[in-house]
Structure formats: C-alpha cells, structure tokens
Chains A and B, each alone.
Chain A
C-alpha cells in the first residue's frame, strides 16, 4: 500500500499567517493527490484535487502544489474559519486509497 505522511501533525498559527502543510507519498503518485478540510463533528470537505486544482467554491487563499512524492497545501492568509484538520489523500491506487494522518491547525 502507498503510505501518506503529513507534517507537521499539528501547528499553531495566527489569523493572517501563511500556513504550509506537507504530504509525502511512499512512492511516486504523479499528481493523484487530494486535500480535504475537516472541522470537529463535521464531514470532510474537498479543497484541492489533482494536486493543484481548486475545487469550486473554495477560497483562492488555498493552493496546492507538488508532484511525484512531495506535495504542499498552502493557506496564504489564515482566516478564523480555517482552523480545522487537513488531510491529504492519494488516488493513484484506486484499489487501495489512503489518507495521510492529518494536520490540525490551531489558533496561536
């Protein structure tokens, strides 16, 4: 199975900060990488697909980059509603889709 490793597992940031979350795959997955946001008690919400394509309705302060094994989710200016947990997910192997362990973004 393809393992997805996110870092950091948690971070503290202030409103207005630029935040970067990293996701690394155990083998090359080209651009088959998606990012989701989850708030407590809620279902995950798709932010980015195909590594860098912004899902419709998602604010442009969210962006994704990378290919192969290393990927990044960036929030250019953190807003109060962005405090949540973020997950990467590989869809390279549809037989065994896997998620990263998550990155919790907390208020500093």
Chain B
C-alpha cells in the first residue's frame, strides 16, 4: 500500500524550532518529487515547499523562505522539514504529498496524488 506518514509535530514557543518527518512506503520514493503543504486552523491549503527526486531542485513559499529547510534521505525513504524561527502564523496541520507527473500529448502535468494524514504544529507561548 502506498503510504505517507508524517511525524514530529507539537507545541513550540515563538522563535523555536521543530523538525517534521514524512516516512514513505509502498512506492519507489527516490523516483518522486515531494511537497509539504500546510493548513492553518479553519483556513485553506497553502503550498510550503517542494524538493525534486535527487534534491537538485528545491522551492519555497515566500512565507517560509529563509526559515524552513526541506530535505530528503532516499536511502531511508524519508522527507523532512526543518522549521526555524517559528511564528504564530506557522500554526497549522502539515501534510507531505507526493508529486506525480503525467505526460499528456506533448506536455508534462504535475499533481499531488498521495497525501499523508498530517501532523499538527502549534506555535504559542
């Protein structure tokens, strides 16, 4: 069964740090780009960061750039998100999601086809 399981969430004070993990199973992790997506309480989805299969390409939302670092360990089938200088507005459920690419005609289309259940991060004093 294809599965993603996040862990590492919790309560942290403003300015603190937290490292999230996402364990992948049931597919060849090293062949896929991966994403972190978050959802603040009662709000919509916000893309946070992406990393290519070999870690060659890494992208961040402006809201986390310079504070968060995405990484992966293909040998351990794991994705990570190091979160530093946390703010109250970082409070959210954080999901990891697999990036799937599909070729249709001459174009390549990307979408997030597998999601974890999420881990909750609360930033509060």
Contacts and interface: CB of A to CB of B under 8 A. Distances in A.
Nearest to B118: A43
B102 to A, nearest CB: 7
A65 to B, nearest CB: 15
B11 interface: no
Interface residues of B, number: 25
Interface stretch (A12-20, A72-80, A90-98): A90-98
A62 B35 CA distance: 25
A61 interface: no
Q: Most chain-A CB neighbours within 10 Å: which of B46, B47, B102, B112?
A: B112
- Leading 4 A-B pairs by shortest Cβ distance: A49-B111, A43-B115, A50-B109, A97-B47
Interface residues of A, number: 28
A43 B95 contact: yes
Contact of A31 (B47, B62, B109, B112): B109
Interface in B53-112: 59, 61-62, 95, 97, 100, 102, 104, 107, 109-112
B115 A49 contact: no
Contact of A53 (B37, B102, B116): B102
A84 interface: no
A53 B104 contact: yes
Given A31-B109, A43-B115, A45-B115, A102 B102 contact: no
B44 interface: yes
